[in-house]
Structures are given as structure tokens and as C-alpha cells.
Amino acid sequence: MRTTLVVVVLLASALLSVGCNRDGGRADKEGPVIIFRGADGRTLTLEELNGVTGTFQYEILGAGDVPAEASALHERGRKADGRGEYQQAVTLLTRASELAPQWPYPIYDRAYTYLLMKDFAAARADYEKTVALAPRGFFTAITALDILTREQKGEFPPGTYLTYLLLEWVDDRAKRAEMVQQLVSALPRFAPGWKEQAVFAEQDSDRLAAIEKGLAAEPDGETRGMLEINKALVLDRQGEHESAIRLLGALALDPKSTYGTEHLAKTALALLATQK
């Protein structure tokens, strides 16, 4: 997956009309507007959430001391991959990683190249290295490692993650929805599929059903975070405002949350807190 930023909460566009009275979460007029207070006393204020966009620049992780040659080799490797020159891409990305061993990006992109080569063992090993370098997430590495490991254990057939990843290239919404339905029907324990299924559901009851099935399928941390964020948004739409705030606040403050989960939860909190 080649996107450079975490973008939208999956269901946000369908839920922008939510609103409620938030006065119960406010401090006095001169103090900060507290949106959420955790059990440990930590708080999230409206001022802290102002300007939160829900994006996180994964590419900056570990990039502080990357030599120019490593950056150039990485870019050449990506271009070779785009041309279908996979072995050349592997060679270039390997050289880039050797010059910048703490930079997750070349290893992550090499894992993707191995996926396209259908060398799932090599891809899994590189996603494992990526997660070791960036434990709180680097693009889709956490999900990729989880699914490829479960493929190795026989829980999913080989190529499941690649099939899921290639859904990104299906522009036809109806065709994509059909493919997602086929995926979850064949693999009901595949949590990322249920995350996608929630996007195509037309009714909140169907969205929640898909989300709950995903949460029950032992999702990886990144997928779980997205499912719970979308669950909170649906709950808020149904009038369960405080439950939604509690769920989002807990995700935003949980040190175990991935970077993506933290930033998207804060974005959703800011959205709900400013709706009237």
C-alpha cells in the first residue's frame, strides 16, 4: 500500500451530521474545555484537539539521519517496483536499508515488493523488521504482519493478505463491495474484511454488525483501532454520545494504540466535540 498518510476514518463522511450538547464536559469559562478525562486523571481538551487532522506522516519515522544516497536508492527502488522490475527493486531497497538500518521505509517497501513476487515468507520477515523498527505502526505493516503470520499458521490460505491489499486498486465501488462480501463469506475470521464491509453497509445496524464481527475475529492493533473508532461514530449517531466519547478518549490516550489509531481517535473526538 503506497499512500503516504493515514487519511479518513472509514465512516466519517456518513456521520458528519451527528451532534449533541457537550456542555457537561466543559470546565469553567476561563479554563480549558475538557472533552475526556481518563481513569488515570489524564485529560484531552478541546484546545489540544484543535487542528488535529487525522493524518500521520509515517515516512518521517527514523528518517532524521538518513544519508542522501539511501534516500536516492529508496526512490529508485520504488520506481523499479512500479515498473514491475521486482528483483531490481529488492536490490536497490536492500542497499538503501544497509545505509540507513534504523529507517523502516526501505524494508517496508521491500516487503511490499516481496508480496507482489508472492514470496510471502520474505514479505512476512520484512514486515516483522518494520514493526520492530516502528512498534506503533508504519503504514499497514502491523496488519500485514498479523495476517501473513496467520497465513503461515494455516488460519488463512496463502495469498490472503495480497488479495486484500489489491482491493485498493479496484475503483468500481460495486465491484469492490462484491469482492469484500466474497472475502468475508469465505473467511469470516478475517477482521480487515469486516472493517471494509462496514464501509459498504447502508444501515447503522449492518455497520455495527460488521464491526462487531471484526472485533470478535482477533484483529491486529491497527484494525482493532479502526473498528472501534467507527463503532464510536455509529454510537454517536444513534445518540449514545457519552459512550462514543469514552471509547474515543480511551483510544486516544492508550499508550498501546497505534499512531494511526491515536490520531484518528483524536480527529473523531474533535469532530464530535464541535458538532452542535
182-203, pLDDT tens digit by residue? 999 999 999 999 999 999 999 9
Handedness of CA 251, 254, 257, 262 (dihedral sign): positive
Buried b (16+ CB within 10 A) or exposed e, 20-58: bebeebeeeeeeebebbeeeeeeebbbebbeebebebeb
pLDDT score, position 17: 30
How many angstroms separate the CA atoms of 77 and 69, rounded?
Answer: 12
pLDDT score, position 27: 41
Domains of the chain in sequence order: 1-58+154-276 (no CATH), 62-133 (1.25.40.10)
pLDDT score, position 63: 61
The answer to whether 258 and 221 are in contact (CB under 8 A) is yes
How many angstroms separate the CA atoms of 122 and 152, rounded?
Answer: 12
pLDDT score, position 49: 75
The answer to whether 225 and 261 are in contact (CB under 8 A) is yes
How many angstroms separate the CA atoms of 29 and 23, rounded?
Answer: 11
How many angstroms separate the CA atoms of 164 and 227, rounded?
Answer: 17
The cell for 136 is 506503533
Grid cell 493478505 — which residue? Answer: 161
pLDDT score, position 22: 33
pLDDT tens digits, one per residue of 205-231: 999 999 999 999 999 999 999 999 999
How many angstroms separate the CA atoms of 143 and 251, rounded?
Answer: 18
Nearest by Cα to 120 from 89, 90, 86, 147: 147
Backbone phi and psi for residue 204, each to the nearest 5 degrees, phi listed first:
-60, -35
pLDDT score, position 273: 80
Question: Which residue type occupies 124?
Answer: R
Say what the pTM is: 0.85
pLDDT score, position 45: 73
pLDDT score, position 13: 40
The cell for 239 is 445518540
How many angstroms separate the CA atoms of 235 and 254, rounded?
Answer: 20
pLDDT score, position 179: 95
pLDDT score, position 104: 95
How many angstroms separate the CA atoms of 9 and 260, rounded?
Answer: 10
Taking the chain, what is the end-to-end CA distance rounded to the nearest angstrom? 37
How many angstroms separate the CA atoms of 44 and 27, rounded?
Answer: 12
Stretches where the chain sits below pLDDT 70 are 1-31, 53-57, 59-63, 276
Beta strands in the chain (DSSP E): 34-37, 43-45
Collapsing DSSP to helix, strand or coil, 3 comes out as coil
